[in-house]
Amino acid sequence: VSPEANYPLGCWYIAGTSDEVGRQLIRRRLLDRDVVLFRQASGAVVALEDRCAHRSFPLSHGRLEGDLLVCGYHGFTYDAAGSCVRVPSQDHVPYGARVDAFEVREQPPFVWIWLGAPGESGRRAPYHPSWLHEEGWTSWGGQGHIDANHLLIHEDLLDLTAAPFVYPEIAPPVLLSPPPLEVEVTETSVSYHRTFPSGRLSGWQAGATGLAEDQDYEQSESGTFVSPALWVGGWEVGAPTEHGDVHRLAWAYALTPAGPTSTHVIWIAARNWATAQPAITEYMAPRFEEFFRRRKSVLEAVQANLDGSDRRGVSVSADAAGLRAREIVATMLAQERGRAVLRPR
């Protein structure tokens, strides 16, 4: 059974990071389309369909000539709007020689892209977590690919009770007996929050914060399904940092479906303590890479076991936020498909 695409097109997704998009051509598969990304001399990011209008050669195999993109096969040349402006073998450009150009918005560290119906991008807005631009935080990140549907990843992010089983040596001990989730929903988002009774930190948490491993601390976790494109969450430890605030760890997972069972993931983590100490980042970064690797391994095994279906199992109370996220996406898809009947693209 071929799995059906279950991601809305009418949503801002993250195409890449500001760091990786430059004057070289990048090919990325986004929502079942191949897109080529590059930066103009002015710094503006351009996203075009990665398929030449002539004989379908990937434009990402071509080259930039100023702000023009030259196909590497017969030299058709495109501007940033996707219009072919030159055909080397003749002196006129045939009618209809163009490729799709997609709307892009850059909010460092993210480059957002709109692959939905043109002209509808204003109905929603990219989301920018405050800790990415506020003073008093330092961040780091990474990216990778998970061969699983984006909703499996969202569900996993919205329920950390898997952590003691998937990451037994790095999960905080308080997660072994988690209090119920407090779930808050809006029409388009779902957030959860959980405050734990005081308990021990895991070894790596103590190592990263400099707090004692043999003392109890209040801890809480939270997470938000912001949109099909983004999950943000955080962990707090109720002990003061050098600035007097409690220790806060925040992170974001950007999920961009490449196809129904394949998702590109970009993650950014940030902390509000020891922000001028790169050694703490170097200590934490490999742990976050390990979180990613284990999440990938579990979710790819789940996806493979689904045989192309979206067969659901029984659910428990810890699944409340993930189930709500599925409902939100189902509603977005129903609205989008309803509209598409009236206004074909």
The residues binding ligand FES (CB under 6 A) are 52, 54-55, 57, 71, 73-76
Min CB(25)–ligand FES separation in Å: 14
- Cα distance between the two ends of the chain: 27
| Among 317, 158, 291, residue whose Cα is nearest residue 224 | 158
Nearest-approach distance from CB 27 to ligand FES, in angstroms: 15
Name the minimum Å distance from CB 51 to ligand FES: 9
3-state secondary structure of 191: strand
Cβ contact 82:101 at 8 Å: yes
Cis peptide before 109 (omega within 30 of 0): yes
Query: What angle in degrees, to the nearest 10, is found between the helix axes of 150-157 and 320-342?
Result: 150
Q: Name the residue nearer to ligand FES (CB basis): 99 or 266.
A: 99
Nearest-approach distance from CB 119 to ligand FES, in angstroms: 28
How many beta carbons lie within 10 A of that of residue 265, not counting itself?
A: 20
Q: How far is CA 337 from the centre of its chain?
A: 23
Nearer residue to ligand FES within complex by CB, 49 or 156 = 49
CB 40 within 8 A of CB 46: yes
Of residues 56 and 315, the one with the C-beta less far from ligand FES: 56
Pick 96 or 122: Cβ nearer ligand FES = 96
How big is the chain by its Cα radius of gyration, in Å? 22
Distance CA 292, CA 294 (A): 6
Task: CB nearer to ligand FES: give 85 or 330.
Answer: 85
Smallest distance, ligand FES to C-beta of residue 56, A: 6
Whichever of 33 and 200 has its CB closer to ligand FES, that residue is: 33
Least separation in angstroms between CB 49 and ligand FES: 12
Q: Which residue has the tokens 């919205």?
A: 158
Tell me how far, at minimum, the Cβ of 127 lies from ligand FES, in Å.
Answer: 37
Q: Which is nearer to ligand FES, 76 or 102 (CB)?
A: 76
In angstroms, the CA 256 to CA 143 distance is: 11
Q: How far is the CB of 80 from ligand FES (least distance, A)?
A: 17
Dig out the tokens for 203 from the structure. 């070894």
Q: Number of helices (H) and strands (E), helices first, in the chain?
A: 5, 17
Structure tokens at 68: 């023009």
Residue closer to ligand FES by CB (options 54, 294) is 54
**Alpha-carbon gap, residue 345 to 333, rounded angstroms:** 15
